[in-house]
Each structure stands twice: as C-alpha cells, then as structure tokens.
C-alpha cells in the first residue's frame, strides 16, 4: 500500500523526498560516514557540473591554441592572410616565368633568325574569334566613353592654352588679377620712399586671396613684416602678402586664383594696425599693384 502511495505522489514531492547514504566497513560494519540528499539535489549538482565543464571547454578552445585544431574554427583572418600572401607569391612567380619565357623566345628567334613577320601578325589576328571582335556596347558604356573623351579634350585644351600663354609671355596688362582683399588703400605705392607696395585696410579676420594661379615659394615670419607669404606665378610674376595674422599655406603648395592663402593681421614691427601690405613684382622689378588690380 505504501508503494502505491509513493507512485501516486507528484514528481516535485518525489524529487524532494530525503534519502540517506551510509558508508560502512564491509568487515566490521562500522559506520564511516552518512550523507543526506534528495534526488533534486543530485540533479542540480549534475547540471551544474555539466555547465561548468562546458564553459571551461569553450574557454579552453577559444582562448588557447587548441582552437586551431577545431575544424572550421581556428583563426580565419590569419589563414586568409597567409592564403593571400601565398597567392601573391604565386602570381609574382608566374609573372617572372612569363617574362623569362618571352625573353628566351625572343633570344631563340634572334639566334635562329626566326624573326616575327607581318604574316605572323596577320595570322594571329585571324585566330581571334568573331565573337570577341563583335561586342555590343551598352548605353552606360557609351556615356562613360563620351565623358572620358570630353575630359581628355578639356584637359588637352587647358594644356594647350597654358603652353600658348607661356609662349607668348603675356604682359601685366594682358593678365586678369584677382584682388587679394577688397578695401581702401591707406598708403599707396611710393618707390622714392621705399614703399614698394600698397597697404590695404580691411575688416578683422578677412581672408587674403591669391591674385593668380601659382606656387608658394616662401611662407615665413620676419621681424619687420610678420607672417609673410610669397607666390610665384606664370609670366615672371611674384606676389607678396605681408603683416598677416596667420598663414594658410606653406612653401611648395600649388595655389589657384582667388584661393585663401592667409588672414589679414597686424604682425611685424613695420605694421601700425590691421592691414595687408601687398607687393607685385614683374621680371624682378616691383610695380604699382593699383595700376592693374581694382581693390
């Protein structure tokens, strides 16, 4: 009857039913130890042990070099890197082999007087299948070809124009200058007083711009003129920009006309207030900038 009652008990109660494990000496029947447990405790202990073993196994495989022994795992990036290096090495050897074969073939032809003739070229051309020669062009391909052709025409026109201008060696009257700043002239060009430029008044933080395309040949600080910039232009023209608060370009930079190269300022011992001292030189001689530029 008691056995029937136990079978009718819910599973939760059967898992919590206590049991005792007694360890005895087989000969003397002396009790060596007694342990109390329930089936639920055994299940929980076994699950925890399995979980701990699983976590330790995953960590061991993912952190240690053992991961390289797992198929499909390992260090994928490292393997890809090695494969890429091997592929590059194979390609390099293939290119060298091709070059050597071409060299030896040319050398053999030279020794045996087996020179490539026009007939050989024509035969090689005839061997090209018609399917390779008659390829239909798609609309996007035609547009790309036209764009490339227009860019090449524009570039060639620009190059020819620059060559033509350099060949003519234009005078200052024939050049179009971009004003470095827009403002009023506080002191004009006076060669007899040693003032070989113009002082232009402008608002604080006004950008100073290049008058023509050119290359920066000097960008430095001097005690008298402060932050000073010099640009070499075509047709033996050089422009100087002095007393700037900051320089935006350095020596060697290529400049476009109207590009900001400095910030107007009041640096140097010869400056008495924020302004730009601008000089224009042509063929090694300073000229009056106001004659050619509208400030």
Q: Could you give the CA distance from residue 219 to residue 140 in angstroms, rounded to a whole number? A: 47
How many domains does one find in the chain? 3
Q: Do residues 243 and 204 make contact, with C-beta atoms less than 8 angstroms apart?
A: no
> What pLDDT, in 10s, does the model give residues 204-255?
889 999 999 999 999 999 999 999 999 999 889 999 999 999 999 999 999 9
Q: What is the reported pTM?
A: 0.46
Distance CA 212, CA 237 (A): 9
Is residue 281 one of the residues assigned to a domain? yes
Comparison of pLDDT for 138 and 33, the residue scoring more: 33
**Same domain? 187 vs 93:** no
At which of 110, 137, 153 does a domain end? 110
In a domain, 32, yes or no: yes
| More confident position, 71 or 275 | 275
Over residues 189-213, the mean pLDDT reads 92
Looking at the structure, tell me whether residues 187 and 254 fall in a common domain: yes
238 touches 281 (CB < 8 A) = yes
- Which has the higher per-residue pLDDT, 148 or 239? 239
Q: Rounded to whole angstroms, how far apart are CA atoms 40 and 46?
A: 10
Q: Please check whether residue 207 lies inside any domain of the structure.
A: yes
Whether residue 295 is predicted with pLDDT greater than 90 in this model: the reply is no
- Domain enclosing residue 178, as ranges: 174-291
- Of 254, 179, 268, 244, the C-alpha closest to 216 is 254
Higher pLDDT, 265 or 26: 265
In a domain, 151, yes or no: no
At residue 195, the pLDDT reads 92
Of 256, 262, 278, nearest to 183 by C-alpha is 278
The three-state DSSP-derived secondary structure of the chain is: CHHHHHHHCCHHHHHCCCEEEEEECCCCCCEEEEEEECHHHHHHHHHHHHHHHHHHHHHHHHHCHHHHHCCCCCCHHHHHHHHHHHHHHHHHHHHHHHHHHHHHHHHHHHHHCCCCCHHHHHHHHHCCCHHHHCCCCCHHHHHHHHHHHHHHHHHHHHHHHHHHHHHHCCCHHHCCCCCCCCCEEEECCEHHHCECCEEEECCCCCEEECCCCEEEEEEEEECCCEEEEEEEECCCEEEEEEEECEECCCCCCEECCCCEEEECECCCCCCCCCEEEEEEEECCEEECHHHCCCC
- 181 and 280 co-located in one domain: yes
The pLDDT value recorded for residue 246 is 93
Residue 101 pLDDT: 78
Would you say residue 235 lies in a domain? yes
What's the Cα-to-Cα distance from 202 to each of 28, 176, 211, rounded to whole Å?
A: 115, 22, 17
Kindly state whether residues 195 and 245 are assigned to the same domain: yes
- 225 in a domain, yes or no? yes
52-61, 68-77, 93-102: segment of lowest average pLDDT: 68-77
**Predicted local distance difference test score (pLDDT) of residue 1:** 46
d(CA 239, CA 232): 7
Distance of CA 32 to the CA centre of its chain: 77
pLDDT at residue 167 greater than cutoff 50: no
Q: Is 230 a member of any domain?
A: yes
Residue 66 placed within a domain: no
- Mean pLDDT value across residues 151-168: 56
State yes or no: pLDDT of 46 exceeds 60: yes
Q: Is the pLDDT of residue 81 over 80?
A: no
């Amino acid at each position: 009857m008691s056995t029937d009652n136990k079978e009718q008990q819910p599973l939760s109660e059967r898992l919590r039913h206590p049991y005792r494990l007694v360890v005895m000496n087989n000969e003397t029947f002396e009790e060596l130890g007694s342990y109390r447990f329930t089936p639920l405790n055994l299940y929980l202990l076994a699950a925890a042990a399995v979980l701990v073993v699983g976590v330790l196994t995953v960590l061991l495989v993912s952190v240690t070099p053992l991961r390289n022994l797992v198929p499909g795992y390992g260090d994928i990036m490292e393997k890809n890197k090695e494969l890429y290096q091997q592929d590059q090495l194979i390609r390099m050897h293939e290119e060298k082999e091709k070059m050597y074969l071409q060299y030896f073939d040319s050398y053999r032809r030279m020794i045996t007087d087996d020179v490539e003739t026009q007939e050989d070229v024509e035969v090689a051309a005839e061997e090209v299948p018609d399917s390779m020669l008659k390829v239909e062009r798609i609309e996007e391909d035609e547009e790309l070809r036209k764009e490339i052709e227009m860019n090449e025409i524009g570039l060639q026109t620009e190059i020819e124009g620059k060559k033509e201008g350099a060949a003519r060696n234009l005078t200052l009257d024939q050049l179009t200058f971009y004003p470095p700043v827009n403002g009023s002239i506080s002191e004009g060009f006076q060669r007899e007083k040693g003032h070989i430029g113009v002082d232009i008044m402008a608002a604080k933080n006004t950008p100073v711009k290049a008058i023509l395309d050119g290359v920066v040949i000097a960008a430095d600080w001097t005690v008298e003129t402060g932050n000073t910039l010099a640009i070499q232009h075509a047709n033996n023209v050089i422009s100087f920009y002095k007393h700037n608060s900051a320089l935006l370009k350095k020596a060697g930079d290529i400049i476009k006309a109207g590009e900001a190269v400095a910030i107007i300022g009041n640096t140097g011992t010869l400056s008495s207030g924020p302004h730009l001292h601008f000089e224009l030189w042509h063929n090694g001689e300073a000229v009056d900038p106001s004659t050619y530029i509208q400030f």
